[in-house]
Structure formats: structure tokens, C-alpha cells
Amino acid sequence: MPEPRHFEVQPYRYLLKKIDMDKMQKDVSDLLLEMKKRRKNRIIEVVSDGKAYRLNLKDIVYISRLKRGSVLIVEQASNENEKKYEEIKSNEKLEDWYPQLSNDGFEFAHTSYIVNMQKIVSIVKEDILMSNKQLLRISRTCKQKFHERFSYYFSKKYRRDTEK
């Protein structure tokens, strides 16, 4: 894959290279997968009891552990004054969700749930108030990592907002 340092030396090296159609299709499909991965409105698929859902990550408030699987608390599209929330059960465990979501602002606040940092209204000591008015507790085992990740997320968000 081309890297920025290659363009400083030979800017047209990749444009003039002859490649066959199969190689080009593979490169384009890899590029499209990477673009989809980096897209702002990432979508995840959830299968639950024979139903399939496509959810925007920004709509997930938090994911909680169940005996078998997990439950996603999802914000439904409605008017600004009142928001509705839906619980979607999934067969996937929290340990399966975390690697998919950790780079998108989700973090364990407790061993029983992963929270979406975009949906945090306030944090007071070990209590997190979520956008659905749910009060969640930060566990002692997750406290340090959660606060580090939240500070990083908050500073990144602040820089992005001030640049606009």
C-alpha cells in the first residue's frame, strides 16, 4: 500500500504502474472495506431471536450483560422533546462486542456493561448519568482505564469542536 513517504520521492509511481484487473479489483475492494470501517456513521448488525437489526453506533447508549448474551439499549429516532429507547437482545457477549466498538468511543465502565461515551450526560465520582436518564456505576476494576479513555475521548472531541 502506498505510504506518504513514497509520494515525496516518486509521486506518480503508483499511477503509472501496470496492474491486471484482478489485482485492481482486490485493491479497490480493500479500499472500500477500509473506507466503510472509518466511516463516521458506522453500522453494526445484530441478530436476535430470528430478527436482524442494522444499528448506527451513535444510537447505542450502552450494552449490558445478560446470562446468555447481551442487551443493547438503543435510542430510537423521534422528536427532540421526547426520546424513546428500545432494548435489543443479542446472543453476542460483551467480550465479543468490545473489540468491535472500543475504537469508536465505547468503554467498559463496569464488568457488566459497555457505555457509549457520546451518550454520557455527566460523571460524578463513580456515577455516570446516561442520555436515557439511566444511572450507571463505574466499578473499581474498570475505574482507571475508563477515566483515561474518557479523558482522551473528551479532549479529542473538544479539539475537533474548537477547530470548526
The string of pLDDT tens digits covering residues 62-104 is: 999 999 899 999 998 766 677 889 999 998 999 999 999 988 8
Which residues have CB under 8 Å from 121's CB, separation 6+?
129, 130, 131
DSSP 120: E
Q: In CATH, what class is 59-163?
A: mainly beta
pLDDT of the residue at 104: 85
Residue 114 confidence class, pLDDT cut points 50, 70, 90: very high
Give the pTM.
0.69
Long-range Cβ contact pairs of 49-58 (< 8 A, separation 24 or more): 49/89, 53/88, 55/88, 57/101, 57/104, 57/105, 57/106, 57/116, 58/116, 58/118
Alpha carbon distance 66, 112 (integer Å):
8
**Scanning the structure block, which residue is given the C-alpha cell 476494576?**
141
Give me the residue spans of the domains in the chain.
4-38, 59-163
